[in-house]
Amino acid sequence: MYNFRQDFIHFAVQQKVLRFGEFQTKAGRLSPYFFNAGLFNDGISLRNLSQFYAQAILASNIQFDMLFGPAYKGIPLAAGTAIALAEQGRNVPYCYNRKEAKDHGEGGTTVGAKLQGRVLIIDDVISAGTSVRESIDLIRAEGAEPCAVVIALDRMERGQGDLSAVQEVRLSYNIPVVAIATLNDLLGFLQGTPEMVENLTAVQTYRDLFGVKNDPI
**Quick check: 180 and 151 in contact, CB under 8 A?**
yes
Type of residue at 123 = D
Quick: pLDDT tens for 104-123: 445 578 999 999 999 999 99
pLDDT for res 109: 85
The predicted-structure confidence for 146-176, as pLDDT tens digits, reads as follows 999 999 999 999 887 889 989 999 999 999 9
Enumerate residue ranges in the chain where pLDDT < 50.
Answer: 1, 104-105, 216-217
Task: Specify the DSSP class assigned to residue 93.
Answer: -
Q: Which residues share a beta bridge with 67?
A: 94, 120
Q: Which domains does the chain have, with CATH numbers?
A: 4-210 (3.40.50.2020)
Spell out the residues 6+ positions from residue 211 whose beta carbon is closer than 8 angstroms to its own.
156, 157, 158, 183
Helix (H, G, I), strand (E, B) or coil at 29: coil
Residue 172 identity (one-letter amino acid): S
pLDDT score for 103: 52
Say if residues 147 and 140 touch (Cβ distance below 8 Å).
no
Please give the torsion angle defined by the CA atoms of residues 154, 159, 164 and 169, in that order, rounded to the nearest 10 degrees: -100
188 to 32, 96, 184, 191, 203: CA distances (angstroms): 16, 34, 6, 5, 11
**Secondary structure of 150-213 as H, E, C letters:** EEEEECCEECCCCCEHHHHHHHHHCCCEEEEEEHHHHHHHHHCCHHHHHHHHHHHHHHHHHECC
Catalytic: which of 10, 102, 114, 213?
102
Examine the residue annotation and report whether 104 is marked as an active-site residue of this protein: yes
Q: In the annotation, is 102 catalytic?
A: yes
Which one is catalytic: 16, 26, 99, 104? 104
Q: What pLDDT was estimated at residue 105? A: 47
